[in-house]
Amino acid sequence: MGISGAFLTTSMQSDSKSNAPKLGYTLNGQGACNVQVNCSDIPNQVCRLNGATGPQAFAKNAQGNCNEIVYRP
């Protein structure tokens, strides 16, 4: 029982480190990246500027466009 508990704890610690925080950005009137928001790549509720309210935040793709869905940390 102790061995499985230790394995589970170690497994959970390494899993949380693999999902780093991800920056998101709200969009301005032209659809460009605007205000930086701390988000996550772990599926959850979508990331917004003011927690559960406010404009949705998006992460930048490889071309620098803010159109990737990110989640609340």
Strands (E), 1-73: 21-27, 33-40, 48-50, 53-56, 58-60, 66-69
CB 43 within 8 A of CB 69: no
Domain assignment of residue 12, yes or no? no
Domains of the chain: total: 1
**pLDDT tens digits for range 37-67:** 999 999 999 999 998 899 999 999 999 999 9
Residue 6 within a domain = no
Q: Is 69 exposed, middle or buried (0-12, 13-18, 19+ CB in 10 A)?
A: middle
Does 9 score more than 50 pLDDT? no
Q: How many residues does the chain have?
A: 73
pTM above 0.75, yes or no: no
Rounded to whole angstroms, the Cα distance separating 41 from 48 reads 13
pLDDT tens column, 26-45: 999 999 999 999 999 999 99
39 occurs within a structural domain? yes
Q: What is the span of the domain harbouring residue 31?
A: 20-73
Q: For residue 51, is it within any domain?
A: yes
Q: Does residue 13 lie within any of the structural domains?
A: no
